[in-house]
Chains A and B, each alone.
Chain A
Amino acid sequence: MTTVTPERTQWQRARRRFLHHRLAVAGITVLTVLLICCFGADVVAPYERGVQNLMLGPTPPSAAHWFGTDELGRDYLTELLFAGRISLAIGLSVAVLATAVGTALGAAAGFFGGWVDEIIMRVTDLFIVLPAIVVLAVALQGAGRSPAVIVPVLAAIGWTTVARVVRSQVLSLREKEYIAAATVLGVTRRRIIVRHILPNLTGVIAVSTSLGAASAVIVESTLSFLGYGVQPPESSWGNMLSQASGLIGTEKVYLLYFPGLFILLTALAINFLGDGLRDAFDPNGARS
């Protein structure tokens, strides 16, 4: 006889497990600090945005300018914090959008099976044959390169991964005894989906959202390097990085290090967060 545990305790347990995962806590801390610094850059940033000092020009990191200054003598840290707004906003909105679409379609494919499943899965197959970056570049070549275009296009690729994971999870949940029991008891399909299937997908959804955000930040930078990312004068870490990509072997190479470090730090923090969420929601799951 199993006891029915109220949902509240399940969440409390998940939270406890998450807090025990030290790297995940470090990840969420770093991420919070980054979010506050970037979105609060008006207050936090050491200098005013975009103020040029052509007499100063590019200088390596110093006490006055921690991350140095760029070719126009702008404080690099300030520029990076403001650019982070775009990068983080793109990462988060792509993740949310891709997860929403991927969960809906993946759950539909897994739950209904048949031709619904067939069609949705064949569409995800397309993205296995075609490298994502190729699809992205072609789409962005046609549709322009503002964040308003980049986000849906990135999400249009990202949902396929989420859909696959959610589908396989739903397929295994569908065969569980308690679903069979609910069906026998005459619980409606709608209620089964909402009460029995969706809550069990929380872990998968949380993990894929976080991983999606990390990869979106990285992919945006890759697109920028190829010329298909956020375009100047709007700045993102990706396009700051790609603008500095010609500075290898020069004294200004520090301009290349910092945007990359910000992206790396963000992606690391989000991945740790994702690991923590996975352990929190799926304590017996495949943990390597």
Chain B
Amino acid sequence: MFAYVARRLLYSVPVILVASFLLFWAVRVTFDPLSKLRGGRDPGALARAAERLGLGQPIPYQYWRWLTQFVTGDWGVSSRTAGSVQGLILPALGTTLQLIVWGVLAAAVIALAVGAYSAVRQYSAGDLVFTGLSYLGVAMPPFWLGLILIQILAAWPQELLGLTDPPLYFVGLHSPDGGGPLDYARHLVLPVLTLTVGLVASWSRFTRATMLDALTSEYVRTARAKGVPKGRIVVRHALRTSLGPFVSVTAVDAGLLFGGLVVTEQIFAIQGMGRLFLDSLLTGDVFVLVPWTLVIGLVVIVFNLLADIVYAVLDPRVRLG
């Protein structure tokens, strides 16, 4: 297991490095890291900053310099806030991970439940409704969905019931004065829904397909013949075998999830990685963009690795090594 994890990480390192180099290069070509200093009165400042950042050097050299500083913990200073890049990225990552963890948990539970139901009651009214909803979920522009959800679940109920607060909040993850777990939950529902509807739609279709395969398999027929109760067959025999492939699909969609974050955090004004990316891009903050990519790349890879490990735990036939 340990050897496997180590090898997978080693294999991923070149991919991340190439990705971050390409981005470094694209960002360097696109943006001027000295734009803030350009209109200044002191022409010497420009030259000094260029010297300090090594801008006269070839880009691969600049990248190497930046990378060695990055791995030794010196992530540099943001040109937008003049604060340390670590101080921007790490809190944002914490916020984003909350959305991801709750989102993946909620999406997985709902998708498994819906998929299993649809497979057991294939072609029933419920199955048809879920199928229709999943088509809608996939075809929906994500930010439109978020806005419509705000309208339906927050703005209308507030107006109709004459409440001072909407039942579900749509700004940030906490009320300004803190608030308890209930306050946190009321903030989480809408962004998590926005982030996961598309995932629930495709994951539930996937679960339905694998469950249908499992339910028509011979071991399920054997279990049935032996008189195992139906609920037990569905959960212990069919769902159990569908979990493995399910986990790998969730891992593949990790990138999608991070893309969704950019939109979700923008709609709900959540100060996470997605928001940080947009703010940095709009202000041309190269000092944040490149480490941002590296961190996101690492998170995606860790995500995939976790999925592999969970797969191996779920399916004893799989040996990591």
Contact = CB atoms under 8 A, between A and B. Distances in A.
Interface of A: 122, 125-134, 137-139, 141-142, 214, 218, 221-222, 225-227, 238, 241-242, 245, 248-249, 253, 256-257, 260, 263-264, 267-268, 271-272, 286, 288
A138 B24 CA distance: 11
A139 B278 CA distance: 13
Contacts of B23: 130, 138
Contacts of B159: 249
A271 B143 contact: no
30 contacts: A126-B15, A128-B252, A128-B255, A130-B255, A130-B293, A130-B297, A131-B255, A131-B256, A131-B259, A131-B296, A133-B259, A134-B259, A137-B262, A138-B27, A138-B289, A139-B26, A142-B29, A142-B31, A218-B142, A222-B141, A222-B142, A248-B150, A248-B155, A249-B155, A260-B140, A260-B141, A264-B141, A267-B139, A288-B205, A288-B212
B221 to A, nearest CB: 21
Given A142-B29, A226-B278, A245 B147 contact: yes
Contact of A271 (B139, B206, B209, B266): B139
Nearest to A133: B259
Given A126-B15, A129-B15, A288-B208, A245 B143 contact: yes
B147 A248 contact: yes
A31 to B, nearest CB: 13
Interface of B: 12, 15-16, 18-19, 22-23, 26-27, 29-31, 135-136, 138-144, 147-148, 150-151, 155, 159, 205-206, 208-209, 212, 252, 255-256, 258-259, 262-263, 266, 277-278, 281-282, 289, 293, 296-297, 300-301
A125 B15 contact: yes
Contacts of A125: 15
Contacts of B18: 122, 126
A36 B263 CA distance: 32
Given A128-B300, A130-B296, A130-B297, A138 B147 contact: no
A268 B141 contact: no
Nearest 4 Cβ contacts at the A-B interface: A142-B30, A267-B139, A288-B209, A260-B144
Given A141-B30, A241-B144, A288-B205, A134 B262 contact: yes
A126 B296 CA distance: 12
A271 B138 contact: yes
Nearest to B139: A267
Contact of B15 (A122, A131, A137, A271): A122
Given A131-B259, A253-B151, A288-B212, 5 more contacts: A128-B300, A141-B31, A222-B142, A245-B147, A256-B148
B293 A134 contact: yes
Q: Which of A126, A130, A131, A138 has the most CB of B within 10 A?
A: A131
Contacts of B26: 138-139, 142
Contacts of B144: 221, 241, 256, 260, 263-264
Contacts of B15: 122, 125-126, 129
Nearest to A123: B18
A178 B262 CA distance: 48
Given A131-B259, A133-B262, A225-B266, A256 B138 contact: no
A256 B148 CA distance: 8
Nearest to A253: B151
Contacts of B12: 129
Contact of B281 (A130, A141, A214, A253): A141
Given A129-B301, A138-B27, A256 B147 contact: yes
Nearest to A259: B144
A286 B300 CA distance: 28
Contacts of B27: 138
B255 A129 contact: yes
Contact of A129 (B19, B136, B259): B19
A131 B277 CA distance: 11
Contacts of B297: 129-130
A80 B289 CA distance: 36
A35 to B, nearest CB: 17
A245 B259 CA distance: 19
Contact of B141 (A129, A131, A263, A288): A263
A101 to B, nearest CB: 18
Contacts of B252: 128
A28 to B, nearest CB: 15
A253 B144 CA distance: 12
Nearest to B261: A131
B291 to A, nearest CB: 13
Q: Which of A214, A226, A257, A272 has the most CB of B within 10 A?
A: A226
B262 A218 contact: no
A126 B138 CA distance: 24
Contacts of A141: 30-31, 281
Contacts of A238: 141
A139 B25 CA distance: 11
A241 B155 contact: no
A60 to B, nearest CB: 15
A218 B289 contact: no
A271 B30 contact: no
A264 B198 CA distance: 13
A260 B143 CA distance: 10
A168 B136 CA distance: 29
Contacts of B148: 256-257, 260
Contacts of B141: 218, 221-222, 238, 241, 260, 263-264, 267
